[in-house]
Amino acid sequence: MTRVFVFGLALLALAACETTKGAGRDLKKAGDAIEEVAEDVQKKL
């Protein structure tokens, strides 16, 4: 469920960016969100 949410946010971020630089920032934010989710999952294990 969380992965679907993060993926949806990444798609929205990519759709909103207007430049290549903006796309890079959006991808970094999406990567950071995915990393946080992965860390949360690891802590729960």
Write the CB contacts of 27 (distance below 8 Å, at least 6 apart in sequence): 10, 13, 14
Q: Taking 70 as the threshold, does the pLDDT of residue 16 lie above it? A: no
Binned at pLDDT 50, 70 and 90, residue 26 comes out as confident
Residue spans of the domains in the chain: they are 2-44
Q: How large a percentage of the chain has pLDDT more than 70?
A: 84
**Which residue do the tokens 């934010």 mark?**
29
**Residue 32 backbone dihedrals phi, psi, to 5 degrees:** -65, -40
Across 38-45, average pLDDT: 92
Q: Provide the token pair at 14.
A: 């990519």
CA Rg value for the chain: 12
| The model's pTM | 0.53
Written as one letter, the residue type at 17 is C
